[in-house]
Structure 1
Amino acid sequence: MSLAYLISSSRSLPRQHLRRLINTSSKSLLASQTTPLAHTPRGMVLGIRREDKNRWERRAALTPDHVQRLIRETGVQVLVQPSNTRIFNNSSFEKAGAIIEEDLSKADVILGIKEVPIDKLISDKTYLVFSHTHKGQSYNLSSLQAFLDKNLRVIDYELMVDQESKRRLVLFGKHAGYAGMIDGLHGLGQRLLALGYNSPFIHMGQAHVYPNLECVHTKLRHVGNIITDQGLPEAFAPMVFTFTGAGNVTQGARDIFDKLPHDNVTVDELPFIAKDRYNDRYKNRLLALQVGAQDYVERINGGKYVRDEYREFPERYRSVFAEKIAPYTTMLVNGIYWESKYPRLMTTQDLAKIQKQREMRNRMLAIADISCDIGGSLEFMSHASTIDSPFFYVDAVNNIEHKDIEKPGVQINSIDNLPTELPFEASQHFGDSLYPYAKALAIGDLAHPVLKNAVICENGQLAAPHKHLEKLLQNKPQIRVGSDRRKRVLLAGSGMVSQPLVDYLARSRDTDITIASNNLDEARKLAHQFPDASATLLDLNDNTQLDRLVKDHDVLVSLVPAPLHPQLADCAIRHGKHMVTASYISPEMQKLDERARASNVTVLNEIGLDPGIDHCSAMKIIDEAKAANGTVKSFISWCGGLTAPEDSGNQLGYKFSWSPRGVMTAGLNAAKFKVNGQPKDIVSGDLFRSRFANVPLLPGFAFEGLANRDSLQYADIYGLDLSKMDTMFRGTLRFQGYSELLDCFLRLGLLDLSSSSQVDVESRFAFLAAGTWLLWCRVNGGYRRRHLAQARASPCMRPLPWTPYPLSCKSRLCTDQGERDLVCLHHEFGIEHSSGQYEVRNSSLVVYGNAESGVTAMARTVGVPAAIATRLLLEGKVTQRGTIRPTIPEIYNPLLERLEKTGVVFNEHSRQGIHNSLQRRMAW
C-alpha cells in the first residue's frame, strides 16, 4: 500500500489526521500491507467514557459486539474507560479489540450517554452525549458555556433525526417505558400493602432486580396467573390504568402492562364501569385506558376539539382530565411530551379537589410519571426521584410532600434515568441505533447530514439553529472554566441536625450532597429521602479516603463532634476547599487561620443557633447602631433550646433535642461577664448555684438562666468597646427548677467526666430520701448507672418517682413522637445616641419543632443556617478568607434574609428609656 494511496483514500479525514498518516514511518506502512484491516494505521480514535453521573448508571453507548464490529469494518482504534459498575465488564471490551484506558485525551471523538461533568470535559474534542442544553435548560447553561470555552464540538443524540419525518434516530425508546411500568407496578403493590391490602403486585420487584427482560416477562406471567386465580382487592375495583402519550415511552409501558390480564376501555365507558364496579368481571381483570389530547382537553368557549387548532392556539383549551378521567383512575402512567404553552394535565388544585372527596380515597393511588417533566404536565410533580428512593407522596390537601408510604397522598415515581434499570437491553438497543453514525465518525465523515444537523456548537461558536441561546448565556454570570455545573457538598456527620441541612441544600436541585458518617445505616436512611443525596462510610482514621472525599467536593460541612473539626479543616485547606461548622472556634481551629487565608479558603465556624444566628442578629443591630452614631452601652443575650411547655412534664422540665452529653456537662463550664460596670467570674462547678432564678423575657414562660462561658470576649468579636459598656452578658435559658436539680446531680458526682469516678454511697448520698432509684446520665458517650441506696432526704432534691430506664428517644428525657421542642433567642441592647437619648432595642426569636415531621426546632435552627452559609460559599458570595464567624455583613445580611423565607423570623422593637440593668430585671 503506497503513501499516495493512503492520502488519496483519506480525503474525508481532518487535516490533523492526514498529518498523522503522512508522518507514519515507511516501516509501519509496509507492515500494514500484510495485516487485517483492523490493524491498519488509524484514522479516528474513538473513546467510550465511563458513565459517572450516579452509581446506578450502568449503560454503555456501544456494546462490546458493536466495538468489535466497528474495529473490524473501519480499523478505528477504540479506547474504553475502565468501569467496575458497567453492565459490560472491562475484559469483554478488551476481547472485542478495544484498549482499556483511563485517559481519553488521545481520542478524537468521545461517546457517552449522560451529561459529562464540566471538570471532566477534554478540550478540542467531539462529544456525542445527551447534553440537555439545546432547549436552553437553565440548570445546564454552565455546561453550554463550557462547551464553547473548551472549543468542543457537541453532537446531541436528541437532535439526531430523520430529515423528512423528524423522527429521532438514536434513543433508548421503549426502555424507559419498560422500567417505568415495572417500577410503577412494584410501587402500587407496596402502597396497597401499606393501606392494609394484599395484592398480586406485591410480587413485582423494581426493574433493576431482574437480570433481563425475559425474567421480567416470567414474573409478569406469574403475577397475571395470581390475578386470574385469586383476584384483585375488591375495595379498589375496578382497577383502571390510564396511559397518556403515544410515543416510544408509552408503547414500552404498554408492552409491560399488556402481559397482564386486562380489557381496554374508553373514556365514555368510565361512568358506566364505576356504577357497575361490583361486577365479578372486574375482580380478575385490569382495565387499560389509553387517552390522547382529544380525550382530556376541551375548548374553553365550547365547540369541538380540533387537533391543528389545539397545537397552534392551545390557550383556547383547558384540561378536563381531573373531571373526566382522574376520578376513575387507579394508576396514571404519564408519557406525554408537554410544553408550557399547553394546559397542564392536572394542577395541584385539581389534585387537592380529588383528594378532598372521601369517595376518591381508593382512586389516583399512584402515578408513574415516565416523562419526568418537573413542574410540567403534572404541576405537583416537584422533582425527579432516584432508583434507590423511587417514590414520594403528594398530599395536596395539606400541601405536604413526604416519603411515608402509610400517610395520605398520591404515590409518584419520577425516576429520570429509567433505562439504566435495564442496562443490557437498553445498551444493545441504543448501540444498534448509534452504530451507523459511530461508523461514519470512525472514517472521519463528520459531514454526515444526521451528525451535522445534530451539532449544538463547534469552534467555540453555537451552531446556527442554536444562536438564540447566546442571549441566555449573556444573562448568566461568567462561568469559570473547569468549575462543575453541579455543586458538590460533603456533609460529615448524620446526626440530629443533618436532615434540615440536607433538605435545604437539596431544594436547589443543582447540588449533589454526599453524607459521610461512621453510622452508614443512618446516613443511608437520610440520603434516601433526597434525590441528589448519597451516603458513604466516613473513617477519619483513613486519610486516603478522607482526602478523596474532600477533594471531590466544593464545600465541606462538618457536623461531627467539635474535637474532630481541626482534622477536617486541615484536610479542607490542603485541598483548597471551603468548610462550614456550627461549633465554637477552638484554639486549634484558630491556629489554622493563616494557612486558610494563604490557601484562599474560608473556614466558617459558629453558624448554627448559639453560636450562629445569634451572632447574625446581634451584629445587624450593632452595625445599624454604629451607622446612626450610637454607642452600645449594654448587651444582654439569652438563648435556650427547650421542650415545648406542654411536653415538659418531667423532673428536669427538659428533654434532649441535641447532644445529651453536651447539655448535662455544660454546668462544668466557668463563666465571665460584666453587669452594672462590675466584672463577674463564676468558677467551674458553681454555675448552677449562680443561676438567675427569674428571667422575665416573655410572660408566658417561666424562665431561669445560666451565664454562658466567657461573655467578655464577645465585645472584641462584635467590635464593641468593653470599657464603655456597663453590661456584657450572654446566657442560656432553662425552665425554672432545672438548675437546682442539675446542681444536685453535680454535687452527687453524676456529671463527673472521669471514667474512674466512683460513687461513695455512705458519704455523698446520705442526704437522699429513703428508697432506691436508678438515675441514668449519658456521659462519655454511654450510660452510667447510679445505685442510690437508703438515705436521708436533701432539701435541694425533689422526689424522683422515675421508672428505671436507659436514656433513649422513647424515654421521658427525649422528645418523643408527637412532642415538640422550643428554641427561644432574645437580645437586648442599650444604645446611647449622640443626642443623649437612650434606646432599649430588643430582638426576639421563638421557633417550635414540628411534631408531625419529627424535625426539631433545634435541628432546624442549627441545620438551616449552616445550609444557607454553605449555599453562600457555593455561590461565591463570601469573600473573606481564613477562620471566621458570621459577624460580617456579607454573611449575616443574606443569611438573615434567606432564613426569614424559611419561617425563622426575628421580631424587633425598641423604646426610649433608662437602661434596665441585669440585676434589676432578674433575681440573681
Structure 2
Amino acid sequence: MKKIGIIKEGKVPIDKRVPLTPQQAKQVKENFDVEVLVQSSDIRCYTDDDYRNAGLTIVESVADCDIILGVKEVPIEKLIPNKTHFFFSHTIKKQSYNRDLLKSILDKKIKLIDWETLTNENGNRIIAFGRWAGIVGAYNGLWTYGKRYNLYNIRRAHECFDYEDLKLEYKKIKLPNIKIALTGGGRVTRGAMEVLLGVGISQVTPHDFLTKRFDEPVFTQLNSRDYNRRKDGGEFHRNEFYKNPELYDGDFLKYTKMTDILVACAYWDPSAPVLFHREDIIKDDFDIKVIADITCDIEGSIPSTKKPTTIDDPIYDYNPSDDEIEQALTDEGNITVMAVDNLPCELPRDASESFGNELVNNVIPHLLGSDEKGIIHRATITEAGHLTEKYAYLQSYVDGK
C-alpha cells in the first residue's frame, strides 16, 4: 500500500496552508486505498487533532512515505532523497534564489512535481491558489486606500477566521466616487472582482471608464487587448500577443489619467510591454495613488514594485521623484504599494480547502492511476537525478551558467 505524507511547512515566513484538509485527506485514504500520514505541525490552520479526529495518523517524520505533499518550497535540509515531492518550487523560470534547491533535488534523486506545472491537455492549469490571491489582494487594496485617506477601519484579511468572516467587513467600506482599474482575465482577476462586486462597486466598460464621470465608485476589468497595441497599427490578436509580445507596444497610459487604484492581476512576460515607466508617474496627469500589485513582479511591468511586502508589513510608499521606497503613508506625492507575495496565506482555511478539492478531483486520480492523459508526466521536472526532457532547458540554470 502506497503512503502519502503531508509535510510540515518549513519555509520562513511560515505558511499555514495545507495541500489537503483533514476531511480531504480522509477522502483520499478511503477512496484510493492508500495510507495518509500527517507530519506533526504547530503552524497549520488545521491542528494535529483535526487530522486525528478525521482518522489520520500523526507522525514526526514522513521519511517512509512514497509521495510527499507540501505547499511552499521545502528547505534543502528537509528534502527526502529518492521520494516524489509535490510543492511550488519556483524554479521553472530560472529563479536565481532557488537554483541550489533544484540542484539538491537532482543530487538527492527526487522526483519533483511542481503544482504550477500540472496542466490539462490544453495547457491550462488544473490546480492553483489564484482565486484566493485575487480575493485577498483586492481586499488589501481597499484596506490600503482606507488607511491612506483615513476613510474607514477594517480588519486585515488574516485577522478574519475565514472568507465569510471577512465579508462582514464589506459594509464598513465607504468609498468616494473613485475609479479602480483591474488588469487580467484569469483566476486571480475573477477573485479580485468577487471582492469589488461584493463591496457594491459597479463594473463599467473600459470605454465608459475613460469617457464618463460617475457619482459612485466604479471599476473596470482590462484584458491585454485594452492596453496593448500592435506596433504596425494592425489588429490585436491574443494568441500572437502571448507568443510574440515584442510585436506590441503598451497603451496603458490613457488609464493612468483616470485611475485612483490599480489592482494588477495580469501575468506579465518580461518581453512584453510594461504598463508604465517611472517617468510617466512624475507627470501631472498620472492619478494612481494606490497600487495593489497581486502579480508582485519585482521591477517588472510596474516600476513602483521594487520589493515584495509581507503579511505583517504589507505596504510601503514609492517616491517616484527619487525612485526610492519610503515609509508607508508619509507623503501625499508618493504612491502607496501593496505587494504581499503570499496573499492566499491570509485566508489559509478557505485557500486550502479550494486547493485540496482540485487536488482530489484533478490530480490524485492520475497520480494513483494510469496517468493516461499524461497529467503527472507533463508536470514532472526531475526524476532519478535528471531533468526530464520538457525541462531540459533548466540545465544551464542548474549549472550556474
Structure label with greater radius of gyration: 1
1:85 has 2:43 as partner: yes
1:219-230 equivalences under 5 Å are 219-220=169-170, 222-223=171-172, 227=174
2:249 paired residue number? 318
1:536-551 equivalences under 5 Å are none
1:350 has 2:280 as partner: yes
- CA deviations 1:121-140 (Å, max 9, x no partner) are 01111001111112222221
2:145 paired residue number? 188
- CA deviations 1:387-435 (Å, max 9, x no partner) are 0011111111122211231223111111111111111111111111111
Instruction: Give 1:340 deviation, angstroms.
Output: 1.2
1:314, 1:75 → 2: CA distance?
47
1:294 paired residue number? 225
CA distance 1:124–1:444, shift in 2 (3 Å): farther
1:375 paired residue number? 299
2:116 paired residue number? 158
1:170 paired residue number? 127
CA distance 1:71–1:306, shift in 2 (3 Å): closer
Instruction: Give 1:213 deviation, angstroms.
Output: 1.2
Amino acid at match of 1:173: G
1:59 has 2:17 as partner: yes
1:717 paired residue number? none
Match of 2:328 among 392, 404, 409: 404
Instruction: Give 1:261 deviation, angstroms.
Output: 2.7
Helix, strand or coil at the partner of 1:71: helix
Q: TM-score by structure 2 length? A: 0.94
Q: Retained in 2: the 8 A contact 1:380–1:394?
A: yes
Helix, strand or coil at the partner of 1:167: coil
1:789-808 equivalences under 5 Å are none
1:367, 1:256 → 2: CA distance?
16
Q: Retained in 1: the 8 A contact 2:296–2:339?
A: yes
Instruction: Give 1:289 deviation, angstroms.
Output: 1.3
1:130 paired residue number? 88
1:50 has 2:14 as partner: no
CA distance 1:461–1:309, shift in 2 (3 Å): closer
2:237, 2:29 → 1: CA distance?
52
- CA deviations 1:315-356 (Å, max 9, x no partner) are 33211212x001110100111111111111122222233xxx
Helix, strand or coil at the partner of 2:168: helix
1:627 paired residue number? none
Helix, strand or coil at the partner of 2:113: strand
1:450 has 2:380 as partner: no
Q: Retained in 2: the 8 A contact 1:345–1:377?
A: yes
Amino acid at match of 1:146: S
Q: Retained in 1: the 8 A contact 2:157–2:347?
A: yes
1:660-675 equivalences under 5 Å are none
Unmatched 5+ stretches in structure 1: 1-42, 194-198, 477-924
1:496-535 equivalences under 5 Å are none
Amino acid at match of 1:391: I
Amino acid at match of 1:314: P
1:349, 1:103 → 2: CA distance?
54
Q: Retained in 2: the 8 A contact 1:124–1:150?
A: yes
Match of 1:438 among 338, 361, 364: 364
Instruction: Give 1:157 deviation, angstroms.
Output: 1.0
Helix, strand or coil at the partner of 1:453: helix
CA distance 1:44–1:302, shift in 2 (3 Å): same
2:308 paired residue number? 384
Instruction: Give 1:299 deviation, angstroms.
Output: 3.2
Match of 1:395 among 296, 319, 331: 319
Helix, strand or coil at the partner of 2:169: helix
Helix, strand or coil at the partner of 2:257: helix
Instruction: Give 1:154 deviation, angstroms.
Output: 0.4
Q: Retained in 1: the 8 A contact 2:278–2:303?
A: yes
1:118, 1:271 → 2: CA distance?
50
CA distance 1:445–1:121, shift in 2 (3 Å): farther
2:167, 2:325 → 1: CA distance?
34
Q: CA RMSD in A?
A: 2.0
Q: TM-score by structure 1 length? A: 0.42
Q: Retained in 2: the 8 A contact 1:387–1:415?
A: yes
2:189, 2:264 → 1: CA distance?
8
1:337 has 2:337 as partner: no
2:276, 2:259 → 1: CA distance?
13
1:468 has 2:393 as partner: yes
Helix, strand or coil at the partner of 1:258: helix
- CA deviations 1:60-115 (Å, max 9, x no partner) are 00010011112222332222111122111001111222221121111111000000
Q: Retained in 1: the 8 A contact 2:210–2:255?
A: no
- CA deviations 1:176-207 (Å, max 9, x no partner) are 111111111111111112xxxxx2xx232221
CA distance 1:445–1:126, shift in 2 (3 Å): farther
Helix, strand or coil at the partner of 1:203: coil
Q: Retained in 1: the 8 A contact 2:209–2:220?
A: no
Helix, strand or coil at the partner of 1:253: helix
1:243, 1:332 → 2: CA distance?
6
2:54 paired residue number? 96
2:67, 2:210 → 1: CA distance?
57
- CA deviations 1:183-241 (Å, max 9, x no partner) are 11111111112xxxxx2xx2322211111111222221x236xx4xxxx45xxxx3001
1:427, 1:271 → 2: CA distance?
38
CA distance 1:186–1:56, shift in 2 (3 Å): farther
Q: Retained in 1: the 8 A contact 2:315–2:328?
A: no
Structure with greater contact order relative to length (CA < 8 Å, sep ≥ 6): 2
Instruction: Give 1:162 deviation, angstroms.
Output: 0.8
2:159 paired residue number? 209
1:264, 1:90 → 2: CA distance?
43
Instruction: Give 1:294 deviation, angstroms.
Output: 1.9
1:134-153 equivalences under 5 Å are 134-153=92-111
Helix, strand or coil at the partner of 2:148: helix
Aligned residues: 399
Q: Retained in 1: the 8 A contact 2:197–2:203?
A: no
Instruction: Give 1:445 deviation, angstroms.
Output: 5.1
1:247, 1:182 → 2: CA distance?
17
Amino acid at match of 2:236: Y
CA distance 1:170–1:271, shift in 2 (3 Å): closer
- CA deviations 1:10-38 (Å, max 9, x no partner) are xxxxxxxxxxxxxxxxxxxxxxxxxxxxx
1:328 paired residue number? 258
Amino acid at match of 2:328: D
The ranges of structure 1 where at least 4 consecutive aligned residues each deviate by more than 4 angstroms after the TM superposition are 443-448
Unmatched 5+ stretches in structure 2: none
Identity of aligned residues (%): 32
1:671-710 equivalences under 5 Å are none
Amino acid at match of 2:172: V
1:624-663 equivalences under 5 Å are none
1:871-890 equivalences under 5 Å are none
Helix, strand or coil at the partner of 1:47: strand
Q: Retained in 2: the 8 A contact 1:310–1:317?
A: yes
1:289, 1:98 → 2: CA distance?
46
Instruction: Give 1:471 deviation, angstroms.
Output: 1.8
2:149, 2:372 → 1: CA distance?
55
Instruction: Give 1:446 deviation, angstroms.
Output: 6.7
